[in-house]
């Protein structure tokens, strides 16, 4: 299993068109409070790499992180979350358009990590996003977060239920806990395999 990923923050962008060309990218997609920033920090085993907040919606721009040595041009891309956030409808619409434009047109995009709250998801918004990503033909890996918040006696049933709603095999979902480190080494290996292929 892979150790902590060597990630460094590159820049934040308000539009995909501002981003330079890269070799390969993986995008992180999910609801505003699904834990994208916490997952990034866990992948790198660094507490302050990505900004986390108790209030959902902390990610308001396209935040980019480079894997490996500086200049590798292999990026993890954290997109603004969808759904609940303490922001105006207009602001949320702007974030949505930013993410959608990136996902639909970014040439170096090699895959998407679609984060689903393992405790409560998938929600209607999650399933709408599943359908939209499928329509784009993008390679998607489902990552269930917060497995530590599901009682051990419920985890088996929860895995089956979530996979069923996503219409995928239970083994096709990566179950993780940023707080406990569960599933993080496996996800690191997956990210490296895609970006370094």
Per-residue model confidence as pLDDT tens digits over 63-74: 999 999 999 999
Total domains in the fold of the chain: 1
| Mean pLDDT value across residues 145-152 | 94
pLDDT confidence tier of residue 100, bands split at 50, 70 and 90:
confident
Residue predicted with more confidence, 130 or 171: 130
Is 105 inside a domain boundary?
Answer: yes
Is 2 inside a domain boundary?
Answer: no
Is 109 inside a domain boundary?
Answer: yes
- pLDDT recorded at residue 191: 97
- pLDDT recorded at residue 59: 57
- pLDDT recorded at residue 99: 84
Measured from the Cβ of residue 86, the count of other Cβ atoms closer than 10 Å reads 10
Instruction: Provide the phi-psi class of 149: left if phi over 0, else alpha when psi is between -120 and 50, else beta.
Output: alpha
pLDDT at 56 over 60: no
- pLDDT recorded at residue 190: 96
Is 98 inside a domain boundary?
Answer: yes
- pLDDT recorded at residue 72: 96
Residue predicted with more confidence, 99 or 53: 99
Is 78 inside a domain boundary?
Answer: yes
Residue numbers of the domain that contains 92: 7-196
Is 60 inside a domain boundary?
Answer: yes
pLDDT at 98 over 90: no
| Mean pLDDT value across residues 106-124 | 95
Is 1 inside a domain boundary?
Answer: no
| Mean pLDDT value across residues 51-64 | 68
Number of Cα atoms under 13 Å in the Cβ half of residue 133: 24
pLDDT at 11 over 80: yes
Is 54 inside a domain boundary?
Answer: yes
| Mean pLDDT value across residues 80-105 | 74
The SS3 of residue 26 is strand
pLDDT tens profile 149-193: 999 999 999 999 999 999 887 678 999 999 999 999 999 999 999
Which CATH number is 159's domain given?
3.40.50.300
**DSSP structure string for 121-190:** ---HHHHHHHHHHHHHT--EEEEEE-GGGS-HHHHHHHHHHHHHHHTS-GGGEEE--TTT-TTHHHHHHH
- pLDDT recorded at residue 171: 75
- pLDDT recorded at residue 2: 75
């Amino acid at each position: 299993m892979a150790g902590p990923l060597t990630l460094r923050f590159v820049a934040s962008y308000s539009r995909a068109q501002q981003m330079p060309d890269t070799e390969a990218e993986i995008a992180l997609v999910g609801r505003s409070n699904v834990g994208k920033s916490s997952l990034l920090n866990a992948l790198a085993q660094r507490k302050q790499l990505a900004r986390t907040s108790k209030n959902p919606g902390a990610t308001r721009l396209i935040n980019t992180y480079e894997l490996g040595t500086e200049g590798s041009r292999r990026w993890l891309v954290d997109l603004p979350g969808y759904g609940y956030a303490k922001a105006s409808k207009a602001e949320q619409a702007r974030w949505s358009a930013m993410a959608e434009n990136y996902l639909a047109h970014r040439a170096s995009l090699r895959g998407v990590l679609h984060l689903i709250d393992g405790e409560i998801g998938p929600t209607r918004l999650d399933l709408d996003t599943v359908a939209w990503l499928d329509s784009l033909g993008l390679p998607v890996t489902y990552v269930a977060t917060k497995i530590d918040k599901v009682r051990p006696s419920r985890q088996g049933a929860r895995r089956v239920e979530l996979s069923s709603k996503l219409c995928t095999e239970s083994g096709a979902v990566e179950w993780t806990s940023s707080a406990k480190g569960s599933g993080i080494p496996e996800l690191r290996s997956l990210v490296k395999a895609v970006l370094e292929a």
